[in-house]
Amino acid sequence: MIDLNLMAIFARVVEAESFAEAARRMNTSRSAVSKAVAKLEKTLGARLVNRTTRHLSLTEIGSLIADHCCRILEEADQGERLVASFTTEPRGVLRVSASVAFGTLHIAPALAEFLPRLQQAQPLAEWNACLLALLERFYLADEDEERQLQLIRSQLADWQTQLGEARFDQPITADLLQDYLGSVLGESRSSQRFLAGQVNFCTLMPMRSIPFRQVCLLGMNDGVYPRTLPPMGFDLMAVASRRGDRSRRDDDRYLFLEALLSAQQGLYISYQGFSAQDNSEKVPSVLLAELIDYVRQGFVLAGDEDLDDDTSGRRLLEHLIVAHPLTPYSPAYFYPEPGSGLFTYAADWLPALSPERGAANFQSGDLPLPAEWGREQGLELAELLRFYRQPARYFLNRRLKVWFELEEATIEDSEPFELDGLQHYQLKALLLDAHLTEGESEARRHRLQLSGLLPQGWFGSLLLEEIDGEMGKLAARLRPWTGDKQAVEIDIALAQGQLQGWIDTQKGRALVVKPGSFNGKDLLLAWIQHLCLSLSSAPGDTLLFDAKQSLRLPRLAVDEARPRLAALVALWTQGMKRPLPFFPSTAWEWLKGIEKDPAKPEEADKAALARFNGGYMVTGEGQDVYVARCFPELDDEVLAQLQGLAREHLTPLHQALEELQ
């Protein structure tokens, strides 16, 4: 009989791929490990390891023996754990040796605190807090032990997440918690061996024809299996094969046969029947096609013995082969035909079959505000401004933790003869700042031409001349109002809580500058800051400058500014519970149209729709992915809500705006 110790040492050598590393892990000498492997080779009568000065490799017999050793050791470990589970269960009286002072001050209070909590059923959140407190109280772990404790914490967090997704909130007994932690912690190892769990994912490996109850072969498409590897230039077996040479294609056919023989109760084979790009038909692997033909010709369904070969074969294949729809929300999954074999557990896709559209189908009810956004914590001015930049985006990001942006690096395939909108705006901002700090400068223009920020050749020169002149005029209008900068603290008491933040002022005024043109969103943000400035300890005017116009918001009285700011904060509270049908630029276009000619509301509605939907070279607010998810279209219901919000919150802004003289 082979010594199990020798097999264990050989398994450690295979795992470490080195005699020296295996000796270090087992805390023994290299010579002892080498002698043990040599003794095992002598016992078996075959060489297991090819030894060189730089590399260790297994022979063909060594590979087979290594797999058997791993399985035998795994079985031994399972038996040891099984015995330990019956012998290590705590029973009887626990005796703790400690000094009287230490036991009185530390151990006795801890036992009195934790024992009642460990003996009663409680929700997993309370179990989690109890166990974490227990670990924190009783364990001072070193670096190696900290990994084990972190594994316990991560398993508890994962289980809590799973139960939360399943909406399971019933109390959990101590026995159930012990069984779960024992199972997951027993399976959680840094290196998993083959056959380590209930479901094993692996490639088709030779000499692994181990019986399994269920065998699943995935992705058996033509060109994928059997594998087609291009031959290397120095591969003589590919260019000048001889009788007896190894054939990878024949190896794959043999592996496929081994997989079929390993299935004891069920065999599942899948392949992609249609292309995901153009829905064109894709054929299965040659081996699978041969298996299908063999089954069709050699077997029939019960009761079809008297039918002809074509009919019985067709009925058999219809029974064995299940064609799955391409999309997970196909009605065939939710309303399957009898005998189709289709089903689904993804109930989240069921609303996609509903013909209803719009915000009413987005969520069933209002979300409660989180505890950290209560009255006591207050609200930051920066958060309020971030909300009004895009209310729908803010709701999905902050409340639902959903982001639709895909940060992918793209390489431009064309020469930059013109700038896009963002680059155009950034260049304007750069030139405006340079005009305010440096004034007119030919050196700056030359530096920009050499920076690579401009289009190539004369295109860049013409664009720079145009933008530089435009920003020079804006800087000339802005320069008399710039001066000493001062940060004004905002600390306003409202019914919803305290609104806090800072606003930068110059010469006692707030300046809002945009190198382009103001839209409704820009004006609304400036209006919110102006209301806060009017309620601060240093109230003043707010001046707005863009490339075409200069506007002014005069100082407001406290009794006028406070209710308007409170209404905007209340609207923020409403927008935290569900998507808010408020699009600042669209609402501003509608308000301008209705104020210009109240007798023609259809013209105002048309202007709002044009701003929401966008057009040629113009991006509408409705084209934003977040707005499109919450409000696919500006229908009559959404437009009516938008008009009400615009009248309430933007009309005071429209009335207060005046031209700066």
pLDDT attached to residue 206: 59
Position 186 pLDDT exceeds 80: no
Global confidence as pTM: 0.49
Query: 57 by DSSP, 3-state: which?
Result: strand
Look-up of token digits 């591969």: 235
Reported as a pLDDT band with limits 50, 70 and 90, residue 255 is confident
- Provide the mean pLDDT of the chain: 80
Reported as a pLDDT band with limits 50, 70 and 90, residue 360 is very low
Query: 548 by DSSP, 3-state: which?
Result: coil
Reported as a pLDDT band with limits 50, 70 and 90, residue 560 is very high
Position 84 pLDDT exceeds 80: no
Q: DSSP characters for 231-284?
A: PPTT-HHHHS--TT---HHHHHHHHHHHHHHHEEEEEEE----B-TTT--B--B
Phi, psi of 295 (to 5 degrees): -65, -40
pLDDT attached to residue 414: 57
Q: 235-247 pLDDT, tens per residue?
A: 677 667 778 777 7
Reported as a pLDDT band with limits 50, 70 and 90, residue 531 is very high
Position 169 pLDDT exceeds 50: yes
Q: Range with the lowest mean pLDDT among 327-331, 348-352, 376-380?
A: 348-352
Q: What average pLDDT does this structure show over 375-398?
A: 86
Q: 605-647 pLDDT, tens per residue?
A: 999 999 998 877 678 898 888 998 888 888 888 999 999 999 9
Q: Give a three-class secondary structure readout of 318-365.
A: HHHCCCCCCCCCCHHHHCCCCCCCCCCCCHHHHHHHCCCCCHHHCCCC
Position 108 pLDDT exceeds 60: yes
Q: Which residues contact 434 (CB under 8 A, 6 or more apart)?
A: 441, 444
Reported as a pLDDT band with limits 50, 70 and 90, residue 388 is very high
The helix (run of H) or strand (run of E) holding residue 311 is helix 309-320
pLDDT attached to residue 53: 55
pLDDT attached to residue 190: 43
Position 24 pLDDT exceeds 60: yes
pLDDT attached to residue 233: 62
Reported as a pLDDT band with limits 50, 70 and 90, residue 588 is very high
Q: Using N-to-C axis directions, what is the helix angle for 381-389 and 558-575, rounded to 10°?
A: 60
Position 498 pLDDT exceeds 80: yes
**ω into 370 cis (within 30 of 0):** no
Q: Which of 117, 124, 115, 111 is nearest to 176 (CA)?
A: 124
Q: Which of 575, 579, 574, 601 is nearest to 590 (CA)?
A: 601
Report residue 306 as tokens.
Answer: 């008297």
Q: What average pLDDT does this structure show over 187-214?
A: 68
The helix (run of H) or strand (run of E) holding residue 544 is strand 542-545
CA–CA gap between residue 321 and residue 292 (Å, rounded): 10
Answer with the residue of higher pLDDT: 134 or 445. 134
CA–CA gap between residue 304 and residue 313 (Å, rounded): 9
Look-up of token digits 């113009």: 618
pLDDT attached to residue 358: 45
